[in-house]
Amino acid sequence: MAETRYHFRVAEADGSIRTVYDPYSFPSLLTDYDLHLFGEGNHAELYNRLGAQIRTIDDVAGVNFAVWAPNASAISVVGDFNGWDGRRHPMQRRSGSGVWELFVPELQAGERYKFRIRTRWGETIEKADPFGFAAELPPCTASVVADLSQHTWND
């Protein structure tokens, strides 16, 4: 593990203990300029910013999640990687943009996920990623982290 990042020791329900990176110790993928362009409606590469983006920061691979939900009061990313527990990966709101973001270290392509959203009225709903590049087949509705660098484009 990179020594420049905070770590947590997590006790799992089965009694095992594991060491994990602190997701909040990693910098944002979205810059202030990205948020400015987004707010103007002029960002030409949102597909490289929103959704689930595989990236490496300081030799730590993981997935950056970002979603626009301006009316949400809270959002978490949930999936198999956290037992679909919305308490484990709450996302951070980016200024007044309505964008929520979180880098989750050590995730990789193939992970199933959704966004758990608490509305301003207190209702909790789970939604697939509107910028997702892959999804489960119906009747399942989770998004799936995709590694686009492995895709051969033909258009």
pTM score of the predicted model: 0.90
**Residues above pLDDT 70, as percent of the chain:** 97
* pLDDT (0 to 100) of residue 149: 82
**Alpha-helix runs per DSSP H in 81-129:** none
- Give the Cβ contact number of residue 83 at 10 Å: 11
* pLDDT (0 to 100) of residue 73: 97
Nearest in space to 73 (alpha carbons), one of 93, 87, 94: 93
Beta bridge partners of 104: 63
User: Is the alpha carbon torsion for 8, 105, 4, 67 positive or negative?
Assistant: negative
pLDDT confidence of 69, banded at 50, 70, 90?
A: very high
Q: Which residue has the tokens 């909040």?
A: 24
Identify the architecture of domain 7-150 in CATH.
Answer: Sandwich (2.60)
Q: What is the tens place of the pLDDT at every residue in 116-129?
A: 999 999 999 999 99
Q: What is the tens place of the pLDDT at every residue in 89-98?
A: 999 999 888 9
Q: What is the tens place of the pLDDT at every residue in 123-148?
A: 999 999 999 999 999 999 999 999 98
| Domains of the chain, residue spans | 7-150
Q: Is 101:72 a contact under the CB 8 Å cutoff?
A: no
Residues, the chain: 155
